[in-house]
Amino acid sequence: MKQFIIFLRKEFAHVLRDRKTLLILFGMPITQILIFGFALTNEVKNSKIVVVDNAKDVASHKIISRIEASRYFEIEEAMLNANQIEESFQQGLIRMAVVFPANFNHDLVHQNKGQVQIIADASDPNTATTLTNYVSAIIQDYQAEMDKVNAIPYRIEPQVRMLYNPQLKGVHNFVPGVIALVLMLVCVMMTAVSIVREKETGTMEILLVSPFKPMMVMISKAIPYLILSLINVTSILLLSVFVLKVPVNGSILLLFAESTLFIITCLTLGIFISVKTNSQQVAMLISLMGMMLPTILFSGFMFPIENMPKALQIFSNIVPSKWFYIIVKSIMIKGVGFSEIWKETVILIGMTIFLLGLSLKNFKIRLA
Partner 1 sequence: MRTIRFLLQKEFRQIFRNKIILAMIIVMPSVQLMILPLAADYEIKNINIAIVDHDRSSYSQNLISTITASGYFKLTGFENSFKEALHLIEQDQADLILEIPQGFERNLIREGEQKMFIAVNAINGVKANLGGSYLTSIIKNYNNGIRLELSPATRFSRNPSIEILSSNWFNNLLSYRVFMVPGILAFLVTMIGGFLSCLNIVKEKEVGTIEQINVTPIKKHHFILGKLIPFWILGNVVFTIGLLISWLIYGIVPVGNLAVLYGFIGVYLLSVLGFGLLVSTFCETQQQAMFIMFFFMMVFILLGGLFTSIDSMPEWAQIISKLNPVSYLISVMRMVILKGSSLNDIVPHLIITFVFAVVLNTWAALNYKKTT
Please list every residue from 162 through 201 that binds partner 1, using CB under 8 A: 162-166, 168-170, 172-173, 182, 185-186, 189, 193, 197
By CB under 8 A, tell whether 288 contacts partner 1: yes
At residue 114, what are phi and psi to the nearest 5 degrees? -120, 155
Q: How far is the CB of 288 from partner 1 (least distance, A)?
A: 6
What DSSP character marks residue 78?
A: P
* Spatial separation of the C-alpha atoms in residues 214 and 237, rounded to whole Å: 34
Helix (H, G, I), strand (E, B) or coil at 25: helix
Q: How far is the CB of 168 from partner 1 (least distance, A)?
A: 3
User: CA torsion, points 286, 288, 290, 296, in degrees to nearest 10?
Assistant: 150
- Which residue from 5, 13, 18, 62 is in contact with partner 1, where contact means CB under 8 A? 18
**128 and 96 Cβ atoms separated by less than 8 Å:** yes
- Which residue from 230, 297, 358, 360 is in contact with partner 1, where contact means CB under 8 A? 297
Q: Residue 76 forms beta bridges with which residues?
A: 50
Q: How far apart are the first and last CA of the chain?
A: 25
Q: Could you please report the per-residue DSSP string of 246-271? A: ----S-HHHHHHHHHHHHHHHHHHHH
Q: Which is nearer to partner 1, 99 or 356 (CB)?
A: 99
Q: How far is the CB of 213 from partner 1 (least distance, A)?
A: 26
* Spatial separation of the C-alpha atoms in residues 237 and 179, rounded to whole Å: 9
HEC profile for 331-355?
Answer: HHHHCCCHHHHHHHHHHHHHHHHHH
Q: Which is nearer to partner 1, 153 or 211 (CB)?
A: 153
Q: Which is nearer to partner 1, 80 or 168 (CB)?
A: 168
Size of the site for partner 1 (CB under 8 A): 120
Q: How far is the CB of 305 from partner 1 (least distance, A)?
A: 8
Buried b (16+ CB within 10 A) or exposed e, 270-282: bbbbbbbbeebee
By CB under 8 A, tell whether 21 contacts partner 1: yes
| Angle, CA of 154, 159 and 163, to the nearest 5° | 165
Binders of partner 1 in range 215-234 (CB under 8 A) = none
Q: Which is nearer to partner 1, 86 or 205 (CB)?
A: 86
- Which residue from 123, 203, 249, 317 is in contact with partner 1, where contact means CB under 8 A? 123
By CB under 8 A, tell whether 91 contacts partner 1: yes
**How many residues are recorded in the chain?**
368
**15 and 224 Cβ atoms separated by less than 8 Å:** yes
Q: How far is the CB of 296 from partner 1 (least distance, A)?
A: 7
By CB under 8 A, tell whether 212 contacts partner 1: no
Q: How far is the CB of 237 from partner 1 (least distance, A)?
A: 18
* Spatial separation of the C-alpha atoms in residues 296 and 32, rounded to whole Å: 14
By CB under 8 A, tell whether 46 contacts partner 1: yes
Sheet holding 47-53, edge to edge: 73-76, 47-53, 96-100
**255 and 230 Cβ atoms separated by less than 8 Å:** no
Question: Which among 117-125, 247-255, 257-265, 351-359 is the span making contact with partner 1, rule CB under 8 A?
Answer: 117-125
By CB under 8 A, tell whether 32 contacts partner 1: yes
- Which residue from 9, 10, 106, 143 is in contact with partner 1, where contact means CB under 8 A? 143
- Which residue from 84, 248, 340, 360 is in contact with partner 1, where contact means CB under 8 A? 340
Q: How far is the CB of 260 from partner 1 (least distance, A)?
A: 22
By CB under 8 A, tell whether 1 contacts partner 1: no
- Which residue from 65, 81, 83, 150 is in contact with partner 1, where contact means CB under 8 A? 150
